[in-house]
Amino acid sequence: MKTILVVDDEPRTREGVRKTLEAWSSGRYRIETASSGVEALVWLQEHEANLLVTDIRMPEIGGLDLIERLEDMKNPPVVIVISGHPEFDYAQKALKFGVVEYLLKPLDKAKLVQAVELALQREEKIHRIERMEKLVDPKLMETMEHESAYSTPVREAIRYLDEHLHESVSMRDLADHLHMNASYFSVLFKEQTGLTFSEYLTKQRIQRAKVLLTTTMLPIAEIAERVGYQTARYFVKVFRELEQVSPGQYRNNVKDSAEIIQ
> In this model, does residue 85 exceed pLDDT 80?
no
* CATH number of the domain residue 115 falls in: 3.40.50.2300
User: Are residues 235 and 162 part of one domain?
Assistant: yes
For residue 205, give every residue at least 6 positions away whose Cβ sits within 8 Å of its Cβ, in sequence order, or none: 165, 227, 228, 229, 238
Local structure of residue 261 (DSSP, 8 states): B
Q: Across the chain, what does the average pLDDT equal?
A: 89
Percent of the chain with pLDDT over 70: 94
Give the span between the Cα atoms of 181 and 161, in whole angstroms. Answer: 18
Among 84, 99, 133, the domain-final residue is 133
More confident residue, 126 or 183: 183
Average pLDDT of the residues in 102-129: 91
Confidence of residue 145 (pLDDT cuts 50, 70, 90): confident
Give the span between the Cα atoms of 47 and 41, in whole angstroms. Answer: 10
User: Are residues 154 and 128 part of one domain?
Assistant: no
- The string of pLDDT tens digits covering residues 22-72 is 999 999 999 999 999 999 999 999 999 999 999 988 888 888 889 888 888
User: Are residues 38 and 123 part of one domain?
Assistant: yes
| Least trusted range by pLDDT, from 8-17, 24-33, 91-100, 218-227 | 91-100
Local structure of residue 97 (DSSP, 8 states): T
Confidence of residue 128 (pLDDT cuts 50, 70, 90): confident
Strands 78-83 and 29-34, sheet pairing = unpaired
User: Are residues 107 and 6 part of one domain?
Assistant: yes
For residue 19, give every residue at least 6 positions away whose Cβ sits within 8 Å of its Cβ, in sequence order, or none: none
pLDDT at 26: 95
Question: Do residues 115 and 80 lie in contact, with contact meaning Cβ atoms separated by under 8 Å?
Answer: yes
E strand or H helix at 33: strand 29-34
* CATH number of the domain residue 253 falls in: 1.10.10.60
Confidence of residue 240 (pLDDT cuts 50, 70, 90): very high
User: Are residues 176 and 85 part of one domain?
Assistant: no
pLDDT at 260: 36
pLDDT at 90: 67
Q: Where are the alpha helices (DSSP H) in 97-231?
A: 109-135, 138-145, 152-163, 171-177, 182-193, 197-215, 220-226
User: Are residues 110 and 199 part of one domain?
Assistant: no
Among 133, 162, 195, the domain-final residue is 133
Instruction: Determine if the pTM surpasses 0.85.
Output: no
User: Are residues 255 and 142 part of one domain?
Assistant: yes
Confidence of residue 181 (pLDDT cuts 50, 70, 90): very high
User: Are residues 255 and 212 part of one domain?
Assistant: yes
- How many domains does one find in the chain? 2
User: Are residues 183 and 110 part of one domain?
Assistant: no
User: Are residues 96 and 10 part of one domain?
Assistant: yes
| Least trusted range by pLDDT, from 2-6, 96-100, 108-112, 227-231 | 96-100
Structural domain for 50, as ranges: 2-133
User: Are residues 169 and 73 part of one domain?
Assistant: no
User: Are residues 162 and 90 part of one domain?
Assistant: no
Among 133, 165, 183, the domain-final residue is 133
